């Protein structure tokens, strides 16, 4: 097999003092933190679409990035070479997982039968490369948003024919995810929303989306796919409004259509900020409601209002994120997928390594900081203290449903103005900073 990253050897942990840009300073895969290795906690995955298929195109211009594995007039030869390059990259970087859309790994042909044949060919090769390298599939998904047939959505498309096409794609994508031993399968509603309400029957579209997901659940059971289904919230882009706009709206949707038992969420940092939240808010909402599944680990730009999908680089954010994730029990089927691409001017293959090494190190630091915070019970003591009024007396009588409005009014009439306590935000911010 050709070598596509000849200048790069296996990336190793060299410790915080290392000045080697092609080494980890913090991510030490076998190091044990709170009873598990860093690799087991973090479950890093490289995403195929950004890392290997994104060639730097943006709204104002085409690609800037030229890769050896993209140099052919035969799209299937490109698919073969790209897959080989990808597994070389996964291995040299030392990640345990990868993620893909069907259309990333094999190009669409003129009809579905031929497209699926192409997929089968590449999936067979991917299975062999997985077995040779030990790299596993974190999740698979379908691309039901790029082709023109999906301009008005997939499951929410006004045409039943397009709905059927989307279902056929998802069916095949679940099958190949199963074949590759995927730990999960993601539904991201790329164009499941609307551009204008003037032509949109919102109720019907939502009902259809639920039908599509229910069919996917039925099919999953039928073929015995054991992976976890995830929904990935995102509020807008490409549409003006997407139905899966944030964790809260996904939760309400899953509840309404009785799908909660079959789905968890895949939270993307940049999508959280587009929704007007932050990454940690979305994680905390999921933990509070038992639906945290997996994470698309990236970041946006505070000054740009779109999905810039940059590599994570903020220790403060990864510390708090890992704290929430660990307190929620950590990852089981999910992990940290780098849904991020290098910038348009980062045209060298080595830039892919810099992006991923930095991202892995910043999450490793977050993990270690969060573990220390958990061991010290630093934040926990403050939060426990803040809610301690609920552990006895009036609080416990309210929580246990022993009192109603009448009793509460009597309580206030007898006891007067309740005592207030400081929120201590500044103290706690200082405390968190001590762990960074």
Active-site residues, by number, are: 101, 104
Task: For ligand XLS, give the closer residue by CB, 26 or 271.
Answer: 271
Task: For ligand XLS, give the closer residue by CB, 94 or 184.
Answer: 184
The binding site for ligand XLS (CB under 6 A) comprises 101, 141, 186, 188, 232, 234, 268, 296, 307, 339
In the complex, minimum distance from the CB of residue 395 to Ni ion, in angstroms, rounded to a whole number: 41
In the complex, minimum distance from the CB of residue 421 to ligand XLS, in angstroms, rounded to a whole number: 41
Name which of Ni ion, ligand XLS, none residue 205 binds, using a CB cut-off of 5 to 8 Å depending on partner kind: none
Helix (H) or strand (E) holding 99: strand 97-101
In the complex, minimum distance from the CB of residue 306 to ligand XLS, in angstroms, rounded to a whole number: 10
Q: Cβ(165)–Cβ(111) under 8 Å?
A: no
In the complex, minimum distance from the CB of residue 379 to ligand XLS, in angstroms, rounded to a whole number: 30
In the complex, minimum distance from the CB of residue 393 to ligand XLS, in angstroms, rounded to a whole number: 48
* Calpha distance 140→345 (Å, rounded): 29
Residue sitting closest to ligand XLS (CB):
188
Handedness of CA 347, 274, 318, 296 (dihedral sign): negative
Using CB under 5 A, which of 80, 88, 102, 268 touches Ni ion?
268
Site string for Ni ion, 300-319 (x = CB under 5 A): -------x------------
* Calpha distance 421→412 (Å, rounded): 18
Name which of Ni ion, ligand XLS, none residue 356 binds, using a CB cut-off of 5 to 8 Å depending on partner kind: none
Task: For ligand XLS, give the closer residue by CB, 101 or 136.
Answer: 101
Residue 88 found at the interface with Ni ion (CB under 5 A) = no
Q: What Cα–Cα distance (Å) separates residue 426 from each residue in 204, 242, 370, 422, 431? A: 48, 36, 19, 10, 9
Handedness of CA 309, 310, 311, 314 (dihedral sign): negative
Residue 282 found at the interface with Ni ion (CB under 5 A) = no
Task: For ligand XLS, give the closer residue by CB, 80 or 232.
Answer: 232
Q: Cβ(428)–Cβ(382) under 8 Å?
A: yes
In the complex, minimum distance from the CB of residue 232 to Ni ion, in angstroms, rounded to a whole number: 5
Of the listed pieces 282-290, 331-339, 375-383, 399-407, which binds Ni ion according to CB under 5 A?
Answer: 331-339
* Calpha distance 109→135 (Å, rounded): 28
SS3 103: helix
What are the backbone dihedrals phi and psi of residue 12, each rounded to the nearest 5 degrees, phi first? Answer: -120, 160
Name which of Ni ion, ligand XLS, none residue 295 binds, using a CB cut-off of 5 to 8 Å depending on partner kind: none
* Calpha distance 88→184 (Å, rounded): 23
Using CB under 5 A, which of 296, 311, 325, 331 touches Ni ion?
296
Q: Which tokens belong to 188?
A: 């991201």
* Calpha distance 184→269 (Å, rounded): 19
**Which residues pair with residue 184 across a beta bridge?**
228
E strands in 179-327: 184-187, 193-194, 228-231, 241-242, 263-268, 292-296
Task: For Ni ion, give the closer residue by CB, 104 or 296.
Answer: 296
Task: For Ni ion, give the closer residue by CB, 244 or 339.
Answer: 339
In the complex, minimum distance from the CB of residue 24 to Ni ion, in angstroms, rounded to a whole number: 24
Q: Cβ(30)–Cβ(13) under 8 Å?
A: no
Task: For ligand XLS, give the closer residue by CB, 274 or 357.
Answer: 274
Helix (H) or strand (E) holding 78: helix 75-93
33-36 long-range contacts, CB within 8 A, separation 24+ = 33/367, 33/368, 33/371, 34/326, 34/371, 34/374, 34/375, 36/330
Residue 339 found at the interface with Ni ion (CB under 5 A) = yes
Site of interaction with Ni ion (CB under 5 A)? 268, 296, 307, 339
């Amino acid at each position: 097999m050709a070598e596509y990253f000849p200048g790069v050897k296996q990336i190793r942990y060299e410790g915080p003092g290392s000045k080697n840009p092609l080494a980890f300073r913090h991510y030490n895969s076998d190091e044990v933190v709170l009873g598990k290795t860093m690799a087991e906690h973090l479950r890093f995955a490289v995403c195929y679409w950004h890392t290997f298929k994104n060639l730097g195109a943006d709204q104002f211009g085409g690609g800037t990035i030229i890769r050896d594995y993209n140099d052919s007039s035969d799209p299937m030869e490109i698919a073969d070479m790209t897959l080989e390059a990808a597994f070389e990259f996964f291995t040299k970087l030392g990640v345990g997982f990868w993620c893909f859309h069907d259309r990333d790994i094999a190009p669409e042909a003129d009809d579905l039968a031929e497209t699926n044949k192409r997929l089968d060919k590449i999936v067979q090769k991917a299975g062999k490369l997985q077995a040779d390298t030990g790299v596993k599939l974190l999740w698979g998904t379908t691309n039901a948003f790029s082709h023109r047939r999906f301009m008005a959505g997939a499951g929410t498309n006004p045409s039943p024919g397009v709905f059927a096409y989307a279902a056929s794609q998802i069916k095949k994508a679940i099958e190949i995810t199963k074949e590759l031993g995927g730990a999960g399968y993601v539904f991201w509603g790329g164009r499941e929303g609307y551009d204008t309400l003037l032509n949109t029957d919102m109720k019907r579209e939502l009902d259809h989306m639920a039908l599509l997901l229910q069919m996917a659940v039925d099919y999953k059971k039928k073929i015995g796919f054991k992976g976890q289904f995830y929904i990935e919230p995102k509020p807008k882009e490409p549409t003006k409004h997407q139905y899966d706009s944030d964790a809260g709206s996904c939760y309400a949707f899953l509840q309404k259509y009785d799908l909660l038992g079959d789905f968890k969420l895949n939270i993307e940092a940049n999508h959280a900020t587009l929704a007007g939240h932050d990454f940690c808010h979305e994680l905390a909402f999921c933990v509070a409601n038992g639906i945290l599944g997996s994470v698309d680990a990236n970041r946006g730009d505070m000054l740009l209002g779109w999905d810039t999908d940059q590599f994570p680089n903020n220790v403060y954010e990864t510390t708090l994120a890992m704290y929430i994730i660990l307190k929620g029990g950590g990852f089981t089927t999910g992990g940290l997928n780098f849904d991020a691409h290098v910038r348009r001017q980062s045209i060298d293959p080595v830039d892919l390594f810099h992006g991923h090494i930095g991202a892995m190190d910043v999450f490793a630091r977050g993990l270690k900081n969060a573990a220390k915070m958990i061991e010290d019970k630093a934040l926990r003591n403050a939060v426990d203290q803040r809610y301690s009024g609920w552990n006895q007396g009036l609080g416990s009588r309210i929580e246990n449903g022993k009192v109603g409005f009448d009793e509460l009014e009597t309580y206030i009439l007898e006891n007067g103005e309740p005592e207030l306590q400081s929120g201590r935000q500044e103290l706690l911010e200082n405390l968190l900073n001590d762990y960074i």
